[in-house]
Every structure is written in C-alpha cells, then in structure tokens.
Structure 1
C-alpha cells in the first residue's frame, strides 16, 4: 500500500498523541527524541498500541528532531542518529501491520521573518537537514505539523520538496478565532499550502474536536488537495498529580463522524488522544464523502485570500507601484526610500485595489534586492495579495521566496526562453501567472495569432504542473491613436481565450488612450467593452472614479453581478466598508498605527520641539497604543502589525530617553520565564517584545527555569509582576509549584499563559491573572503598575 492508494480509498486513519502516551508511561522530562536510542522499547510499544487500534499511518518520534530544537538539549550533533532511529523503530513496527510511516517534523520554535527575526533561509536549511535524513532513513510520508506561522510552514514545505520526492502533508494550528498565531485564517492557509504542492493539508492541536469542525468545513471548501485533521482531546486540566483531557474516546469518535461528513480524508489525534480514542474512531466505520475540488482562481496574502470565478467582481489590480513615467517614485526606489513606495501601495488599497502590482524596475539598481525589500515591507502593511511585476527571473524568485502568500507573477510570454525560465519558478512557489500574448515575432495584430500564443503558454504551463485556474492571459492593449483596428482585435482575443481555454483574462487598459485627449473617458469605454467580452481582472489606478462607476455598471450588464446586488449596495446608500489598509501619514500617532519606526522617530523629534516628553507619552503614544490594542482585539490587526507598532513606539521612546533621560523611566519590573521542563518560548518572546515596547523593564529568564530561580530573581529585583509560560502539559505541575512558591514568599503578582493553560487552570493554581495573549499581558501589566 502507498499513500496515494490509501487516500484515494476510504477514510485513512492516523495515530494519536506520542507525548500523552510517554507521560502515561512515566516519562516527564528530557528530550523525547533521545528515547529512540536510549529506550526504544517504549516508542515501539506506543507504535504497536496505535497499530493495534487500527491506525494506518503512524508518526515517528521526531517532532522536535530539528537542529534548533535538539540544541536545547545539547544534542544537535546527534541529529542524524536520533532521526534515523525514529524512522527505523516505526518502520520495523509498521511493516508487520502493512501501515505507512509518517516522519513527524515540528516547528523550530523560532519566529520566522517577517513576523520574527529568524530568516526564511535559516528555517529552510533547518528543515532541509532534518527531512533529508528522515527521507533517506525510509519514511513513507513527510508530515509537517503544528505550524503557527505561515512562512515557517512554507519554508518546511519547500525544503521537503527539495529534499525528497516522498508525499508531503502539512498542518497548521489555529486558535478559537480560526486564525494562527500570526493571523492566518483557515482558508488562506489551505490555499497557500496546497498551492505549494503538498499532498494533503490539515489542522492539528490547539482545539478540541467540536471546536475544530467548522474550521475543517472551511478548509475543505477551498483546498485543492485532501484535508486531514488531528484535534486534541479537549483542553487539559490538572487533577491531583495528573493532567486530564476531558474528551472521552466515545465523544471523540462522534466528532470524527462529523469530520468525515465535512469532507476530511485522513483523521487522527493530537494531544490527549490515546490508542483507545483511535480504536473507537476506527470502529465507528467512518464514511468518506465525495468532495468537489475547488476550481476557483485563488490569490492570497498571509491573512486574506481572494477567490475568482465568472460571477465574482472584477479583480482590480493597482498599477501605481511602477516607476515608468513617475519621477518621484523612480527617485524613491533608487534612493531606497521604501516607505514612499509602501505609501503608494497603502493609498491604492484604500482606493479599492484587490491586489497590488509591484514593479521596481529602475536603471542602475539591484532590482532583485530592491524587490525583496519592497515586498518584505509591503506584505506587513497591507492585507491584499501582491503581483510581482518583473522581467528579471532573480527578482521574481526572490520576491516569491520571501512572500508569505500566493502571489501573481507578471509575467511570462510566448518566447521559449521566457516560458522555460519563468514557469518553473511559478510552479516551485505555487504562484499564479500572467501570460502575455507576444513571442519572438512581437505582438500579433490579429486576435487569432494572439490566441495561438495564449494556447501555447497555457499548454506549457500545464506541462509544468501549473493548474489551469492559476493562469491569466493578457491579450495586450495597443494604442488606438496609431492602430484603431487593434482595439477590437484585443476584444476578440479575450472572447477567444474565454471560450476555448478555460483560464482567466487580464488587461492593463491605459495604453489604449495614449496620445489622445480625455484619456480617462476612452479608457473607461474600453474597460466596459473588455468586461463585456469576459475580462476577469484589470490593472488600473483604482483611485480614478470613472473606472469605479464603469466597473459596477458593466458587471451588472455582463452578468457578473447577479441580481445587481453589488450595484444596488453601492448606489442605494453610501456606507463605510471595512478598511484593508493601515492608515499612514507624518504624525507620530499615525506612524505608530502604521508601524513605521523610522517615521515615528522623525515625528517624535518634531513633537519634542513643541511639547513636553510626558505630554507626548500621555496624549499621543499611549492613545496610539490603545488604538493598536483595540484593533488587535477586534481582529483588524494581527501579530505582525502589533509587533511593528510596538517597534515604532520603541523607536520613539529611544529618542525621548536620549534627550530627556528622566522621562524614559520604566513603568515597572517584570520577570518572564518558561517553567521547568518546558523548552518552548515563542509565545513568551512575543510577550517580552510587546512589554518592553510598552515601557516595562523585562527580565527574561528563558526556558526550562526551576521555580527557585524564578523566585530568587523576583526577590533580588523587586519585581512587581512575574509571567509564567507553559506549552507542554508535562510542565503544568511545574507551573503550579512555581506559582505557589512565589505567592508564599512574595507580594509579587503572577500571570500565567501558554497553549495548554486555561483561565480555569490559572485560577485553580492561585495565579492572579490569565494572559491569553501578548496584548492581554500588556493590559495586566497596566493594572499592576
């Protein structure tokens, strides 16, 4: 049996938790992967129990087997040994049952750029090293799991695709809001990960089965590949000396029936699940349902996806980030003034752009480097997807590599060299692509010839494995003033493409009016004609009102706006829609909202010439931070925006402290630590960054910290608040012991948080506060000091 045969049959069954079983067998501390060589019988026995329960795929004990994680235990030099042993143990056991072995690959524990400072390439190399070993040792499947940052999942998938030809599965973990730590929603995750060529995409950990059902339903609707699910057995509690998960095997089995009904193809378990949970699930005889594969064209940023079909609104791609004919923009690009470029993008999104076209082609610059810089900054500032516009393959690949979402590439053409160079890059990074109907002989005058080139591009893209729905064809707009007949040839070419190729069509329209007066009127008329012919996307300046009116009207007349619903909504009342842009201008307040550190630094210098430092802090910085917090709580901002705004405040504070040291006094001392037995600190590090940027003096003790060390630090520094973090259920008892020790010996307030910590648990162990996230930690600090 191979993976393809398994998932094409009935529901496939994964195993359950490894850590839960190790705890039950008395393993509390230390590196789990070390057991692969020190006590292999324990691991073998767990595999056997799951196989006896009916699991068809078992996961190896290699979740933390990457170099970064093993370094926490001083075991990085044993990476090959520990990962190979994990595979061999699982293989020998699985072979007796005819089961498959999935090599478990967990996150690095670092925040990958642009959310954190761990580079994409470092993450890629880390995963490549581990996955290469796992594949060569005999894994049947590479299972990348429990990812909370989209770019880390992308790095792992790209590394896996480069390291092996084995099937790749990838799951992310979501909170109660349906988003990851960095703000990615379920649909966007499914779109981006499946576009990268994984064989299955899924959801695991964090939530119990009931809470996960609506997320699975959403993922199934948009995924192009099978969906798998591995929920926890609920959120844990501590009873006596035991960690207890509330969902029974019978309850778990009932929920799994709903997963199957929702369209999941592979079902297993995560934290708290046992062989009995898996056995009950298998015995329930889950029935697989037929799922309609998503055939819509999709693009995505890290936090928002766009789906396009023949009934969706015309896709508006903002054209303004293109230095051609724009002296100030060209100057900004040449001078490295990234914020000027970003501001242009922000303005276009505010005007209604669904996607931003990014072209930085200025003579005399390093286009590849500049493109990466612009894309890196812009993707943190806007929610809409990006279109990478360049003829330089290095610039295209650099941008796609750093971009967290699913981008559109502008463009490939019918020249052999272009297709052979650009299409493999598009396929590698799971992007969509625009095909220009031109080749070695230039732009054909007649529609039939343009269609021939379009077909050649489509056929070649399909041969590289690029799906039909990821292809846009640009039939090219020529100038009416020099060749009026060419206008109708373009319209006819659009019709031919739409009728015969099954791809999306796209045009830039402004060239049609070149050299003629009242250009906007001509452009608008041509746009209406193109929409009538079947145009799906247009590259325009979205701020031009004439275009907006024409688009709304033409969508009604062409049938894209069924029942004229969008038209009626637009013109029956004027309402303010949801903003997709983070407002930016030169003031300190708005620089903080925007998250632009350099501008905040300049703005605070100006403010210091007019106001006292405390007035700036009380009347500008604090209100701005409060607004940032409110937007985060409402879901308008996500972790990247939160961090950028906090960094902008930090920059402003540094200037204030420089000039007025007395105004830069910290608000209070806070001790942070991940408790004894837990080596995870990604959440704690986010809390630390935010608290520091809010003006608190944070003493970070790191991870795996004994209760006595935490107490001594609190006493020695006179800290008023201590924050304790735990991600592993095995460390909950250590958290309880630490809280008790602090409360018995000091007046210090204690807040606790982490993936396995709940508000009820926080109260039960005597903690003063439950910090559900970084922003809540700030609110708690404000209460204490």
Structure 2
C-alpha cells in the first residue's frame, strides 16, 4: 500500500524538529547540519529511530538547506554524497525499528529571493532543487517534502523540480505568520489554489508558529483545500535560557492542541522546531485511533496571484481588457518599442478602477511573442497583486508564461478543435489554471445555443480525460457583433443561461465585441453587460476604465443582493455633486474621458511631483526617474527627497504594515525610489553638493546562517531613507561584526537569523557587542524570532519586518539629532 493509499484510510504521523536535537548532540553554531549525515551517521540514525518508535510514519531526511549553493564540488562534502547519506540513515533507522515507514526527502528555501525581487533566476532555482530531488530519488526516498516555504514563487520552482525529475508523491508545507500571510504576502487561499493547480498530493503548514496559533489559519486552509492537509507546528514560541533555545509548550500541551487540529481535518500531524520524540509520542497516543475527517473536493473556480485568490462564482468578476493590442494603436506602439512602462501603467490603472483580473495579450506579428509574453508577465506580477489572464493562441508563448507565472492563472484559451485541446490541456494539467473554452470547433461557431452547448459538453468531456475538472473550465458563449447579426445577442444570452442551468458550468464573455461598428459603443456595451450578468455571466472581459461599464457592474451587484446594504455602491458613488461630476469615485481624475484615467495621464495633470510620488508608490521605475529629472529643474534635491520621496515611501510602508501591500510591491517601490535617487545623486555630484547620510548601520546575517533575504530587504529600505549601510553579508562571525562596529563607531547593528540552529550565534554576537561596543544598539529579525526571544537575548529591538527596522532607525537617529 502506498503512502497516498494509507492516507485515505488513517491519520499519518510525521517526525519533529531535527535542528534542536542535533544541537543537543553537539552540532556547533554555524556548522552545516547536512555534514553530519556523513560524519555522525549514528546520531542521525538514532534521531530517526526515536521518532519512529514514538509513532512517526514519516521521517524527514536531514537535508533541509542542502543545495549546490552550500554543498558543491568546491566543498569537502558535495551535494550528492550528503543527500545519499541522509536517505541511507533514514532507511537504516526504519529497518532497525522494524515498522513500515516512509522516507521524505526534505527540501527547504535556498535563502535567496527570486528575480526581479532578488538575484536568483527562476530556472536556476528549479535546477538547484532538481539536483537534490535526483540524488534523493536515486538513493531511495519515498516522497518529496518541500517545507518551510515563505515565497510562492520559490515554492513553485521546487514543485516543478520535483514533478519534472520524478514521479514520487509531493508534499508541500509553507510558513505563515500570525496574520496568516507568507513573507511575500500569500494567503491560505492563494497558496492552496497554486499548489493544487500544480498537482501536489498534500499541502499544509509548518514552522513559524505553535499549534495554538495555527488553528485559525488551518480553518482557512481546510475551507479551500481539496487535498489532504499536513500540520507541523513548532513547540510553541521560542525564547533563550542560558544560551539555549527553549520552547514554551511541553509535549502534553502540544498533543492536546494537535488533537484539536486532527479533529478539524488535518490528515498528517507532526512537529517542527522544538518538538521532540516525546511530543510526537503524545500526539500519536491521542490521535492514532481517530477516524480521519473526509477530504472533500471543493469544486471552487479559483485563479490566484502570489497574494490574491479570486473565486469566479456568484459575484461577477471583472477582467481588464486594456493590455491587448486589438484596436489600440498606442499599445501596439508600446509593444514595438518595448515600452514596458506603458504596459505596467495600464495594469495599475485597471486595478485602481476595479479590475479583479488582468488580461495579458502581447501578440503582434512583428514581435517575438513568447519572449515578450514571459517578460510582461514577470514585470506585471512584480508590481501588481492581481491574477492574470494569459491570452495567446501560441502554445509556446502560453507555456512560457504559465511556467513563470506566480500563482494559478486564467488561460485564454482552448476551443472544441481536437488540435487546440491536445495543445492546451496538457499545459493546464502541468502548471494549473482555469481555462477559457470557446464554443467553436472545426465547423466554426454554431448559430444556435444548442450547438454551442454541444461543443461545451465535448470540451468538458475531453478536459476530464486529462484530469481537469469542470470547475477549471470557463465557457465562452461567444459574443458576436449585433450590427451584423441581430439575433447574435439573444443566442449568446441563451447560451449563458443554459450553461448555468443545464451544465452547471461557469461562463465568460468578451463583452465589447457586441458593439463593433456601432456609434456610442458604451451604450450598447453597458446594457448588454447587465443583461449577460442577469443570465449568469460569471466573468466579463471589459474595460474597467469605462465609467458606464463599471456603473452597470456596481448597480447590478446592488440590485442582485451581492452588495450588502449597497455598501460598495455608496462608497463608489456617494460623493457625487449636484452637477453629476464624481468627486470621490475612482474616475474623478478624468471624468470626461470614456477610457477613464491612466496613471500616466493623472501624473501629467498633477505635474512631475505627483508623477514622482505615484511612480514610487506603484513601483514604476521609469516614471519615477523621468519625474525627478523634471523636478530637479525647479526644486532643490533635498526638498524633493524630503517633500515627495520620503512621504511616498512612508505611505507604501504604512500600506505594508496594514496588510494592503505586500513584500514584492514594497521592494518594487523601493527600487523605483532608488532609481530616482540615482538621478538625484548624479545631479548633486555634478553640482559639488554632497548628500548627507543620516548615519551608518551595520547589517549582517549571523554565523552559520546563509539566508540573507530579510537582511537584503532591510538594506534596500534603509538606503532609501538616506542611511549608509555597511552590509557584511551572511554567515558572519561575531568577531567580524564587533570589529566593524568598533572601527566605524556604528550606532546601530542589525542582525538576521532564519534558522533555529544559528540563533546562538546571534546571542553570542550581542554579548560581544555589549562588551566591546556598548554604545551600539542592536535590532534583530528573522523567521525564528519573537519579541520574547529577542528580549531574552538582550537585543534592543525586535523587528518583525523590514519597515519596523526603518521605524527604529528613524527613532534612534532622530533622537540622536535632538540630543546633539
């Protein structure tokens, strides 16, 4: 019986924390744990065996953090032998235990952010993970466990590596913070949508939180998941006692809460940092006879970005149509000139005006569509958190876009032609997605609703053969121009009704097709849009910058009881003045324009100052650079920084703290500000003026820790706030940090640690700083830290995110200025 078959019948149990047990066995701070697979195999075998005898069905190999970046041909212990030894140790433990159990090849984060936020290419990340998978599979692993992931993009790279390199089951657990968000902003719904689309066998969460903090997040995850869920919490929250990391929940309390978690619906229960064989034993004793809660296929039609999941159902979804060259001369020009900034501005404007999903079509005969499609998708998803509709008839462009897409996309499109279904359905099966299905086939577009329904039925049948359920199909009833076929609208509306009522399917339309060739097209479009929604239209490809279309949308929602107490309608239109001009709506920037206001147009109206601030807030680098160049003609550089750039960054930071903006947007805003700063620096250098630094700050990832994501994010933000950052890198010994602090008389030191095993290095660094650089303040951050943990180590400030680091620096150096 395979592990997936067993999982259908009973609760399975995973092992617990590895790092803390290795530390107890003598692993030194900063020593690479994977090396112990070869130098101390007996220790690893015993740890695995202890967990197995405690009740674990799954033991995870000691390969967390093992990849070519740290274990390669230039090191004493290369990757393949380390992985082989890890699997061998787990296998030996199972043999000694005498029980049936499974070896999970453990893979975690690389410690790097992927481009464009970081410096690691997406395909390079896939390659790093694939090497581990190939070595682990060859050595005899039973399944792949991808765990402690905090970025959906890196998670996708790991999943693709596993799926492309082997046929073993793939389990994935991510790390949420107490708000139920990943480091890069992902939610339980967006994570589940992407992972299920990619075809993983089990999803769940681990690390970061204790079981009590995971309960509420688990409820969200179970509500949207259609596959088994795995939960591996920490043993509560960590703190430091006498130089050792301890956790605040003992085995009995841990097991009591894990019993509740199993009763809620978790199918695999285990532990992470701080959990010992005793923790797992208690969980096993409480839960081994429990009958699992059935896993129910939710049949939700969902598309997602890195941060948002958009369900296509009762409430109609708006798909912005403006990133499409059809009938748009300016857009065609932008494509020919490779003007990505214009495309990004179109995306930002549509999001501001109410789009839930953005259509992306870059097909022109004279350009390289696959390359452009991939590039535009990368750029859009770096500054916007809306899901995208990948709109192309080129299978190569489609696959390249789907591969780099960070989430579960909408795919436009497939049709009833056998050639189309053979090209598109394998891509949807591999990468995940909701696919638009056009009601046409080799015989063209049927004139009747019944003919279109028959094609829809055929598409549903063929999709099912590929393992694609009807919930991942949107039927396009096809909307032909009414000026050439007076019955065309009636046929489309009937098709919509019958797909809803007879097939139980979801529908989509390109609404504006109805009015080609007619004057005042918005009149026809908005009326037809309302009629289509009443007939069951679930998703509409429209221009969200059109006031008439959005009025129809919000009015329909209010009238159909989809907008409780008309709250959203009132919010949008409650500020109208007597003359009918909207002073408080999203269209107030350009009320006379039928196309609505673009970011670029709004910036022009507000002048270079508004263009600069908007460019920074939206992450538009070229706009910010151009605007600051114009401002420098009339304003002093320091005035521009203090009056426009810093306030814009502050607003972005506030949005991040409130959870309305996420890490990718924060970083792209910082990059836009950096681009503007570069222009200012050039101007100041040419004039002989030197920009004053607010002060020097040391940043370092502590000894033994090779993860520098958090440190690098903090660095970018601090530099934008005019601090001089001395970046010492990662895996930095305490002595080096102290030496630099003394030499430069630095007032503030920022320390980062992601791994439990390296926290003692952080504590030792703080101890040495107190002794030799007592004037220096220390701020600490990292996934394993808490306020209490930071306090017990003697840090001056715990910074839960990058903006908290900026706030502390501003307070510290601001007070210094006042004292002086």
Q: TM-score, normalised by structure 2?
A: 0.91
Number of the residue aligned with 1:652: 676
C-alpha distance in structure 1 between counterparts of 2:742 and 2:475, whole Å: 68
Number of the residue aligned with 2:786: 758
Number of the residue aligned with 2:239: 237
| Higher mean C-alpha displacement, 670-679 vs 49-58 | 670-679
| Higher mean C-alpha displacement, 448-457 vs 286-295 | 286-295
Relative distance call for 1:503 and 1:91 in structure 2 (3 A) is: farther
Q: Residue 426 in 1 paired to residue 428 in 2?
A: yes
Number of the residue aligned with 1:570: 569
Q: CA offsets, 1:186-234, max 9 Å, x none?
A: 2211111111100011100001110111111100111121111100001
Q: Residue 685 in 1 paired to residue 712 in 2?
A: yes
Q: Residue 3 in 1 paired to residue 3 in 2?
A: yes
**Native 8 Å contact 1:226 1:264 kept in 2:** yes
C-alpha distance in structure 1 between counterparts of 2:527 and 2:640, whole Å: 52
Written as runs of structure 1 = structure 2, the 5 A alignment for 1:442-481 is 442-481=444-483
C-alpha distance in structure 2 between counterparts of 1:97 and 1:485, whole Å: 70
**Native 8 Å contact 1:555 1:561 kept in 2:** yes
Number of the residue aligned with 1:66: 67
Relative distance call for 1:19 and 1:529 in structure 2 (3 A) is: same
- Deviation of the 1:455 alpha carbon: 1.8
- Deviation of the 1:582 alpha carbon: 12
- Deviation of the 1:76 alpha carbon: 8.3
Q: Secondary structure at the match of 1:244?
A: strand
Written as runs of structure 1 = structure 2, the 5 A alignment for 1:22-37 is 22-29=22-29, 30-37=31-38
Relative distance call for 1:98 and 1:582 in structure 2 (3 A) is: farther
Q: Secondary structure at the match of 2:321?
A: strand
Number of the residue aligned with 2:150: 148
**Native 8 Å contact 2:439 2:453 kept in 1:** yes
Match of 1:776 among 796, 804, 811: 804
**Native 8 Å contact 1:656 1:663 kept in 2:** no
Q: Secondary structure at the match of 1:28?
A: coil
Q: CA offsets, 1:649-673, max 9 Å, x none?
A: 2122222221213343332222122
C-alpha distance in structure 1 between counterparts of 2:556 and 2:522, whole Å: 16
Written as runs of structure 1 = structure 2, the 5 A alignment for 1:124-163 is 124-163=126-165
Match of 1:361 among 360, 363, 368: 363
C-alpha distance in structure 1 between counterparts of 2:764 and 2:704, whole Å: 12
C-alpha distance in structure 1 between counterparts of 2:120 and 2:598, whole Å: 25
**Native 8 Å contact 1:346 1:583 kept in 2:** yes
Number of the residue aligned with 1:391: 393
- Deviation of the 1:10 alpha carbon: 2.0
- Deviation of the 1:758 alpha carbon: 2.5
Match of 1:297 among 296, 301, 323: 301
Give the count of matched residue pairs: 778
Q: Secondary structure at the match of 2:666?
A: helix
Relative distance call for 1:314 and 1:79 in structure 2 (3 A) is: same
Q: Secondary structure at the match of 2:69?
A: helix
Q: CA offsets, 1:312-343, max 9 Å, x none?
A: 21111111211111111111111111111121
| Higher mean C-alpha displacement, 731-740 vs 2-11 | 731-740
Q: CA offsets, 1:157-184, max 9 Å, x none?
A: 1111111111100111011221111111
- Deviation of the 1:730 alpha carbon: 3.0
- Deviation of the 1:347 alpha carbon: 1.7
Q: Residue 698 in 1 paired to residue 725 in 2?
A: yes
C-alpha distance in structure 2 between counterparts of 1:160 and 1:316, whole Å: 35
Which runs of 5 or more residues in structure 1 are unaligned?
Answer: none
Q: CA offsets, 1:722-744, max 9 Å, x none?
A: 11222233333332222222222
- Deviation of the 1:567 alpha carbon: 4.6
**Native 8 Å contact 1:115 1:639 kept in 2:** no
C-alpha distance in structure 1 between counterparts of 2:561 and 2:171, whole Å: 38
C-alpha distance in structure 2 between counterparts of 1:509 and 1:261, whole Å: 47
**Native 8 Å contact 1:316 1:542 kept in 2:** yes
Q: Residue 616 in 1 paired to residue 673 in 2?
A: no
C-alpha distance in structure 1 between counterparts of 2:384 and 2:598, whole Å: 7
Relative distance call for 1:765 and 1:532 in structure 2 (3 A) is: closer
Q: CA offsets, 1:113-166, max 9 Å, x none?
A: 343221110101111111122122211110000111110000111111111111
Written as runs of structure 1 = structure 2, the 5 A alignment for 1:625-774 is 625-661=649-685, 662-746=689-773, 747-774=775-802
C-alpha distance in structure 2 between counterparts of 1:349 and 1:420, whole Å: 34
| Higher mean C-alpha displacement, 207-216 vs 531-540 | 531-540
Number of the residue aligned with 1:81: 81
- Deviation of the 1:489 alpha carbon: 2.3
Relative distance call for 1:578 and 1:489 in structure 2 (3 A) is: closer
Q: Residue 525 in 1 paired to residue 552 in 2?
A: no
Number of the residue aligned with 2:110: 108
Relative distance call for 1:767 and 1:531 in structure 2 (3 A) is: closer
C-alpha distance in structure 2 between counterparts of 1:670 and 1:548, whole Å: 49
Written as runs of structure 1 = structure 2, the 5 A alignment for 1:506-545 is 506-545=508-547
Relative distance call for 1:523 and 1:605 in structure 2 (3 A) is: closer
Number of the residue aligned with 2:311: 307
C-alpha distance in structure 1 between counterparts of 2:399 and 2:10, whole Å: 39
Which runs of 5 or more residues in structure 2 are unaligned?
Answer: 576-583, 588-596, 814-820
| Higher mean C-alpha displacement, 743-752 vs 179-188 | 743-752
C-alpha distance in structure 2 between counterparts of 1:76 and 1:163, whole Å: 26
**Native 8 Å contact 1:614 1:663 kept in 2:** no
Q: Secondary structure at the match of 1:211?
A: helix
Relative distance call for 1:621 and 1:707 in structure 2 (3 A) is: same
Relative distance call for 1:335 and 1:77 in structure 2 (3 A) is: farther
C-alpha distance in structure 1 between counterparts of 2:104 and 2:373, whole Å: 38
Q: CA offsets, 1:542-565, max 9 Å, x none?
A: 2333333444555577xx636x73
Q: Secondary structure at the match of 2:366?
A: coil
**Native 8 Å contact 2:227 2:295 kept in 1:** no
C-alpha distance in structure 2 between counterparts of 1:77 and 1:391, whole Å: 48
C-alpha distance in structure 2 between counterparts of 1:70 and 1:679, whole Å: 12
Relative distance call for 1:621 and 1:543 in structure 2 (3 A) is: closer
Q: CA offsets, 1:365-399, max 9 Å, x none?
A: 11111112221121122222110111111211121
C-alpha distance in structure 2 between counterparts of 1:712 and 1:548, whole Å: 61
- Deviation of the 1:577 alpha carbon: 9.6
C-alpha distance in structure 2 between counterparts of 1:556 and 1:237, whole Å: 51
C-alpha distance in structure 1 between counterparts of 2:662 and 2:18, whole Å: 32
**Native 8 Å contact 2:555 2:569 kept in 1:** no
| Higher mean C-alpha displacement, 477-486 vs 156-165 | 477-486
**Native 8 Å contact 1:649 1:694 kept in 2:** no
Written as runs of structure 1 = structure 2, the 5 A alignment for 1:229-378 is 229-285=231-287, 286-309=290-313, 312-378=314-380
Q: Secondary structure at the match of 2:104?
A: strand
**Native 8 Å contact 2:32 2:704 kept in 1:** no
Q: Secondary structure at the match of 2:462?
A: helix
- Deviation of the 1:475 alpha carbon: 1.6
Q: CA offsets, 1:696-744, max 9 Å, x none?
A: 2222222222222111111222322211222233333332222222222
| Higher mean C-alpha displacement, 622-631 vs 510-519 | 510-519
Q: Secondary structure at the match of 2:625?
A: helix
Relative distance call for 1:605 and 1:503 in structure 2 (3 A) is: same
| Higher mean C-alpha displacement, 58-67 vs 45-54 | 58-67
**Native 8 Å contact 2:352 2:586 kept in 1:** no
**Native 8 Å contact 2:301 2:471 kept in 1:** yes
- Deviation of the 1:566 alpha carbon: 6.3
Q: Residue 603 in 1 paired to residue 622 in 2?
A: no
Number of the residue aligned with 1:482: 484
Give me the CA root mean square deviation.
2.3
**Native 8 Å contact 1:552 1:566 kept in 2:** no
Q: TM-score, normalised by structure 1?
A: 0.95
**Native 8 Å contact 1:506 1:536 kept in 2:** yes
Q: CA offsets, 1:597-617, max 9 Å, x none?
A: 222111111111101111112
C-alpha distance in structure 2 between counterparts of 1:578 and 1:106, whole Å: 43
Q: Secondary structure at the match of 1:67?
A: coil
- Deviation of the 1:44 alpha carbon: 0.6
